[in-house]
Structure 1
Amino acid sequence: MAFGFGPQQMGYDRAITVFSPEGKLYQVEYAFEAVKRGWSTIGMKCKEGVLIAVERKKLQNLIDLKHLEKIFVVDDHIMTSFAGLAADGRILVDIAREVALRHRFLYDEPPTVEYVAKVISDVKQAYTQHAGVRPFGVALIFAGVDEFGPQVFMTEPSGQYMSYYAAVIGQNQSQISEYLEGRYNYDMSLDDAIVLALKALMSVGAEEVSPENYEIGIVRADERKVRKLTEEEVAKYLERAKA
């Protein structure tokens, strides 16, 4: 008689603090699956600054996309977006804002992008090794311009974080990353980077595109100030992306 002793039967997927024989934490891996179901999000840096571009989808006809915020200001020079469980993302955004505010209060200087990303990653990591909690089912992209120039960091549910030229999270992550790999150039202008990000999102999105389906935030290297593009500005970049 054959007996099944997969991860479910052995209980490895229920206990967050127990490794499977393969060295896996199944609850953390399940958190990664939640990220894959999130909206496609791109963070990108170039010599002129950084951007975050998010594809917004109307899940219900009664939803007003104009008031559906997906890019959040952390500090004057840092912004973030996430893919995964929205409630988890909202909590971590609030923590990131508090971290940035506390840093300014204590040291009288703005925090670096990496500092904020690392603190959030530390919070995530703590939720992978304590009983009675679960991992955050969300990945965040932090983008901004600090004393080290344009910066983009992505934090994973496991607590790992890395610096990227272009980071992709959410649905169609592999296809969008593959699209960007052959076309990305750090020396491109910020305008060209915005167009490239839109083309990448359009390559896996619906045939009919509208400015309200995309949210874009930028930080120019010479300004170090987060700014969200208006719907009219997004429309102009979409025309270039379609050409």
Structure 2
Amino acid sequence: MQMTPQMGYDRAITVFSPDGRLFQVEYAREAVKRGTTAAGVKSKDGVVLLVDKRITSRLIEAESIEKIFQIDDHIGAATSGLVADARALVDRARVEAQINKVSYDEQVGVEVLAKKICDHKQSYTQYGGARPYGTALLIAGVDDSRPRLFETDPSGALLEYKATAIGAGRSSFMEIFETDYSDDMDMDAAIMLGMKALYRSTEGKLNAATLEVGLVTLEERQFRKLSEDEVETYVSRVREELKGTEEEKKDDSESQDETTE
């Protein structure tokens, strides 16, 4: 069997290819791209995380699939990629948060925790005998003065965003966020923006039973997940709003056609 040049560099995480790539890390990123879409949106008074769990069979109990996790009172995380890897990282993050509480008698900072998780992920790209984590995390929380939203990468890279998405639908979500995001959004508007992106990416097939929404506000400083009834309220609102917009566009298009004729 003839070996391709790439095969000599993708068998070990510690070997760079001649053009400076680590193929195992890139393969881990592909695992994230194949995962369900998770999104985070920062508002002036908090942060919201949204995930469509993408149920593939009506026999699956939707409650058994968890993609949004609480890490500390004021911090939550959403995942895309290998969920088992994400659970391991979430468990580690919870331990780090408790260590900080015991050591310093204060809640861990959102950025501090995100960097600790990224440092751990980076270590798995530097030593042989283990593979990188095949998951990306959105870490959302509130510090003393402002909400924070971080995206972590399988390589250990860390970026802070106002609004972002990970997973299969990232590109369509980012197009909507780039167009419609505003710095002075309140929490309700941030949730509606995330729901709007979910509606577009699923072509209108939103189901409250398969959506997870978690949020934390500066006022309450307590991360929580919305109940199915609360999610259904937002789903109904976004359906009505976007269907009305689509009908207006259709009417405008038909009137333009008539004018042209």
TM-score interval for Structure 1 and Structure 2 normalised by the shorter chain: over 0.9
8 Å contact 2:46–2:215 — kept in the other structure? yes
Give the superposition deviation at 1:186.
Answer: 1.8
8 Å contact 2:25–2:132 — kept in the other structure? yes
Give the superposition deviation at 1:6.
Answer: 2.7
Other structure's SS at 2:149 match: strand
Other structure's SS at 2:180 match: coil
Identity level (%): 46
Q: Between Structure 1 and Structure 2, which shows a larger proportion of helix residues? A: 2
Match in the other structure for 1:126: 123
Deviations 1:160-208 (A, max 9, x none): 1111101210111111111111000121110011011011011111433
CA distance in structure 2 between the partners assigned to 1:172 and 1:71 by the alignment: 17
Deviations 1:124-182 (A, max 9, x none): 00000101111101000100111241000011000011111012101111111111110
Note if 1:195 corresponds to 2:192: yes
Match in the other structure for 1:142: 139
Note if 1:100 corresponds to 2:97: yes
After TM superposition, the score normalised by the length of structure 2 is 0.89
Counterparts of 1:150-169 in structure 2 under 5 Å?
150-169=147-166
Match in the other structure for 1:51: 48
Counterparts of 1:2-151 in structure 2 under 5 Å?
5-8=4-7, 11-151=8-148
CA distance in structure 2 between the partners assigned to 1:236 and 1:5 by the alignment: 54
Other structure's SS at 1:141 match: strand
CA distance in structure 1 between the partners assigned to 2:66 and 2:4 by the alignment: 44
More moved, 62-71 vs 13-22: 62-71
Task: Give 2:103's aligned amino acid.
Answer: L
More moved, 65-74 vs 129-138: 65-74
Query: Number of residues paired by the alignment?
Result: 239
Other structure's SS at 2:131 match: coil
After TM superposition, the score normalised by the length of structure 1 is 0.95
Structure 1 unaligned blocks of 5 or more: none
Note if 1:216 corresponds to 2:216: no
Note if 1:177 corresponds to 2:174: yes
CA distance in structure 2 between the partners assigned to 1:159 and 1:97 by the alignment: 18
- CA RMSD in angstroms comes to 1.2
Give the superposition deviation at 1:4.
Answer: 6.3
Which of these residues, 222, 230, 235, is aligned with residue 225 of structure 1?
Answer: 222
Query: Based on CA coordinates, which of the two structures has the bigger radius of gyration?
Result: 2
Match in the other structure for 2:231: 234
CA distance in structure 2 between the partners assigned to 1:27 and 1:132 by the alignment: 12
